[in-house]
């Protein structure tokens, strides 16, 4: 489930990750009625395999909902978030809507639109400065770990 799965798992457990990279997340529509679902034979399979055909569970564990319920934690330093989509991706408008949702919740994140790229992960990755994102995430994690160790030593 690519970018959608990264958002779903990352937002549910942000303390476990130093970075969440949401690349070309198709089903960011909380009603699962958008272009990824409409006319898509995989919709039923996704609902069955991931949510046991339970739309309430789908909505409760959806990145849109998890961002709302976890906004306070996601606003704090600790996990950086990047969202990227190609300008020709069929789900471009859903990605932009999700970006606007994160903005409205005050959740810091990067939003990148890669020009002339469709729903193609290799082309999307090629259009991003991936090294910078991962370096920043790992440096932040290393800095947090050093601060935690220092705080633990101070409390002894």
pLDDT of 126-153, one tens digit each?
998 777 888 888 887 666 554 444 444 4
Q: Domain 2-154's class?
A: alpha beta
Task: Tell me what pLDDT residue 2 has.
Answer: 82
Tell me phi and psi for residue 82, to 5 degrees.
Answer: -130, 135
pLDDT of 8-39, one tens digit each?
999 999 989 999 999 987 656 666 666 556 65
Residues in a beta bridge with 95: none
Entry pTM: 0.80
Residues 6+ apart with CB under 8 A from 54: 47
What residue spans define the domains of the chain?
Answer: 2-154
Nearest to 14 by CA among 108, 95, 84, 91: 108
**Predicted confidence band of residue 155 (pLDDT cuts 50, 70, 90):** very low
């Amino acid at each position: 489930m690519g970018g959608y799965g990264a958002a779903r798992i990352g937002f549910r457990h942000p303390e476990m990750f130093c970075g969440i990279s949401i690349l070309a997340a198709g089903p960011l529509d909380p009603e699962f009625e958008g272009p990824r679902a409409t006319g898509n034979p995989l919709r039923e399979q996704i609902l069955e395999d991931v949510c046991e055909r339970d739309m309430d569970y789908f909505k409760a564990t959806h990145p849109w909902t998890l961002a709302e319920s976890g906004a306070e934690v996601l606003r704090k330093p600790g996990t950086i978030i990047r969202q990227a989509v190609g300008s020709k991706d069929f789900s471009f408008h859903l990605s932009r809507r999700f970006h606007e949702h994160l903005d409205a919740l005050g959740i810091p994140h990067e939003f990148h639109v890669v020009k002339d790229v469709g729903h193609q992960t290799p082309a999307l990755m090629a259009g991003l400065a991936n090294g910078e994102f991962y370096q920043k995430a790992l440096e932040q994690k290393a800095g947090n770990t050093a601060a935690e160790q220092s705080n633990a030593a101070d409390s002894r």
